[in-house]
Amino acid sequence: MKSNLPIFFVLVFMMTAILPIPVCADSYSDTIEIYKKSESVQPFFKNAYGYAVFPTIGKGGIGIGGAFGKGKVYKKGNVTGETTLIKMNIGFQLGGQAFSEIIFFEDQRAYEEFTSGNFEFDASASAVAITAAVQAKAGTEGTTAGVSAGPATGKQAPSSYRKGMAIFVHTTGGLMYEATIGGQKFNFTPN
């Protein structure tokens, strides 16, 4: 993995050059409002202990790929810290993509697990897309597939917590073909 580190940094640099990431003071509120428009996500805002929001995550790859994004963690509606997402994967992939992501914490245990400093999702974690997309997953837990037409239109697949967390993504641009293995790693810094 260490021998691939220079390639990872080159890919992250290329993604930032190809996919400009707009930074504005209200990007977090704008992202949250997008998710609140989805009927599948609304119950999570009402019942979750907290959540992490990533307004823009850039990802790209050619054989070896990676993703990077910065976010904020909320507990009961208040910002408690900042987090970064780093992902590295290997497999068939080509392209670049930008998306936002929100991770809901079902209870205090899930929140504390995520905010303990370094947290990592394994390759089996899956997210529900809230924009026009088709998704499929095959793994040790069985197979699933879903289609969505957007946050305010169509119906998304029913979603629930897995190990105390629920993940939703919203694609904002780009095109990526992939069949990869990898996970997401998060670092949390409290306010």
pLDDT computed for residue 144 by the predictor = 39
Strand 165-190 with 128-129, pairing: parallel
Average pLDDT for residues 51-61, to the nearest whole number?
95
> Is residue 115 a contact partner of residue 80, using CB atoms and an 8 Å limit?
yes
Asked if the model's pLDDT at residue 145 lies above 60, the reply is no
What are the two backbone dihedrals, phi and then psi, of residue 131, each rounded to the nearest 5 degrees? -120, 175
Q: Which helix (H) or strand (E) holds 183?
A: strand 165-190
Asked if the model's pLDDT at residue 52 lies above 90, the reply is yes
Q: How far apart are CA 147 and CA 157, in angstroms?
A: 7
Please state the pTM of the whole predicted model: 0.74
pLDDT computed for residue 143 by the predictor = 39
What are the pLDDT digits (tens) for 159-187? 789 889 999 999 888 888 777 767 889 99
Average pLDDT for residues 123-136, to the nearest whole number?
61
